[in-house]
Structure 1
Amino acid sequence: MQVVDPHLHFWALDQGNQPWLENPTPNLLGDYTPMARDFGPDELLDQLDDIELVGLVHVEADADDPVAETRWLTRTLAAYPSLNAAMVVRVDLSQPEAPARLEAQCALSGAVRGVRQILNVHQNPLYDYVGRHYMKEALWQQNLARLAPLKLSFDLQIYPSQMTQAAAIAARHPDIQFVLNHAGMYVDRQGVRGWCEWRDGMRTLACQPNIVTKLSGFGMLDHQWSLGSIRPLILEAIDAFGVERCLFASNYPVDGLYARYADIWHAYAQIIADASHTEQQALFVSNARRIYRI
């Protein structure tokens, strides 16, 4: 089974750059202590089984020093040219130094394709990532605009309550490619209201042609996920965005807390088994190659 994986993470704890892994504290992931170990290309290759990985996108992993993370990744990935790796790096767009940091990140590697700054805000502390509404800040918006001249996309990690605001941001920046992370992170699962907020928010985002969505990360909020529990989310997202604007991804090794690498991909394949070969190829390979220029 051939895939391009557009969302995974590597780290080496001896770099001292991921304190959230060095000192695990239970959060929305649950107890993620089993993930607190080195994970790099060799560990990934050991997980593939019958998956033929023909490209990948490394997404920043909340490093204390994002530039050091990119420098380490550049050295590490140089030994694995067959992985055809691209990178989404971290830059805090709320800072005055953001333009210089964007330039510095791009100068480190020709594989840099985009930026992610996690934006998730939630009233429940268990789910709140940043406690700050960056998208409302003028300087953040000003620095976001600097991505277009650098041909950088923006990986958009938000909750459904933030989708209307994110759609408005995307409308103001039609020359930036936005990539919604983890199918919009359907977090409020108690009752119909949370479902409707996620469903309607996805359709609001889909109205902006410069937004695509990754279908990934389902285990983070549904630790005991099954084909039955993720099928409605996947089919609803594909219905909203269309096949050409959806990308299957693993979110490994984070989602490795809940499933084996190959099992995640085979679950996706089962859910869309009745799609045409062209549609399957788009969802598993060609969309990711197009969006991230792999």
Structure 2
Amino acid sequence: MSSQTSSYPKEVVDPHHHFIDTINNPFQSFLKSLAGEVSYLPEQYIHDVIEPLSQIGVTVCGTVHVEAMPDCGASEVSWVEKMMSSAEQSSFVKAYVASCDLTLDNVEEELDRVIRATPSKVRGIRWILDCVGKFQQGNTATHPATLRHDGVDYLKSPSFERGLAHLEKHNLSFDLQCAPIQLVESAATLFAKYPNLKVCIDHLGKPRRLLGDDLQDDGGINLNTKPDEAELDMWRKGMKAMAALPNAYVKLSMMGYAIPGWIRTPERQALLKSLVLETIEMFGVRRCMVAWNWHVNGAVSDADGGSEIGPDALELLDKFMWFFEGFGEEDRARLFAGTAKEFYSLE
């Protein structure tokens, strides 16, 4: 353990994690086509995150389950809620960010269906948007979710904007997962039109492979310490544009996407720390929240396939404590729980 133990927060909210079971859930056929037969259920999350944190005196006082590309958002929410209400599970999931394709002609009907699945817990909607063109097997910053719409940038779609306008009526937020160039070119302009719609940027704004791949072609560790300045500049411009919107928040999560294998070397860790602190400087602690993004394992949760290693839940907490070493207790409490509680109306 680190020397930060005495300063650990008493409680955390995890505002971003996923449960999946492509083996048994017919509504996860798209996810199954991408990931195959895979399962990650509440008992595994309890074992991986809740219990280890509890053992050092940190209580996970609530979580937000975020959609995992289901074929039907209402079915996914109903499935998780049924697991949470079972005798074997404590109901730690306090809210849902559900899936809904906002470009649908019947988007109001679809939103109503999602909300009816669990009226007291649906807080927001996510539809993965990170797209710089057609998907090319990870060779671009285009997420495989865009295979659902063949590489079309929804942030530039009038039909998406029409659907987005319905969220405000239902008092729903939007989780924004997109590529940095989209933050610059379309997201900031779009969300400025809806000042009463809360939007949370997922995964640190997703700067991509700033130091290159985790490993070299021969399997050795990539020791590059010079970041991709063009990618970094694009990310910085986009995040600053979004930070200018009072309704925009950001999740400090999935940091291995920015620097795959960041826990391997002090230099990588230092660069990642600087990105986290720069993000907090842009948005302020009241609009930033720590998220674990847990599913499958630590490596996948951290790097989304970009590395075979990643911190476990306690290691990640220790790294955040190091990132926040210059912050007071009140600010750390805000980052670990307060912002998420406020954004997702958990209290």
TM-score w.r.t. structure 1 length? 0.91
Task: Give 3-state SS (helix, strand or coil) of 1:86's partner.
Answer: strand
Runs of 4+ in 1 over 4 A off after TM superposition: none
Matched with 1:29 is none
Task: Please point out which of 175, 198, 206 is paired with 2:235.
Answer: 198
Q: What is the 5 A alignment of 1:130-209?
A: 130=146, 131-164=151-184, 165-187=186-208, 189=210, 191-209=228-246
1:119, distance to aligned residue in structure 2 (A): 0.6
Alignment of 1:143-292 (within 5 A): 143-164=163-184, 165-187=186-208, 189=210, 191-226=228-263, 227-253=269-295, 256-257=298-299, 258-292=310-344
The answer on whether the counterparts of 1:56 and 1:85 sit within 8 Å (CA) in structure 2 is yes
SS at the partner of 1:205? helix
TM-score (normalised: structure 2): 0.78
CA RMSD of aligned residues (A): 1.9
- SS of 1:17's partner is helix
- Cα offset, 1:78, TM superposition: 1.8
8 Å Cα contact 1:87-1:112 kept in structure 2:
yes
Give 2:108's aligned residue: 99
Contact 1:219 1:255 (8 Å CA) reproduced: no
Are the equivalent residues in 2 in contact too, given 1:160–1:201 (CA < 8 A)? yes
- Give the counterpart letter for 2:12 in structure 1: V
Relative distance call for 1:91 and 1:20 in structure 2 (3 A) is: closer
Identity of aligned residues (%): 28
Deviation at 1:128, TM superposition (A): 1.1
The answer to whether the 8 A contact 1:183-1:213 is kept is yes
Unpaired runs of at least 5, structure 2: 1-8, 211-226, 264-268, 300-309
Picking from 128, 141, 147, the partner of 2:142 is 128
Structure 1: which 5+ residue stretches go unaligned? 26-32
Q: Secondary structure at the match of 2:62?
A: strand
Cα distance in 1 for partners of 2:171, 2:296 equals 28
Q: Which structure has the bigger radius of gyration?
A: 2
Q: Per-residue displacement from partner, 1:167-224 (whole Å, max 9, x unpaired)?
A: 1111101110000000100026262111111112111110000000001011234330
Residues 21 and 143 of structure 1: CA distance in aligned 2, closer, same or farther (over 3 Å): closer
Give the corresponding residue for 1:28: none
* Range with bigger deviation, 15-24 or 195-204: 15-24
Q: SS at the partner of 1:270?
A: helix
CA offsets, 1:217-254, max 9 Å, x none? 11234330133242011001001001100000011126
Q: Residues of 1 paired with 2:42 and 2:93: CA distance?
A: 12
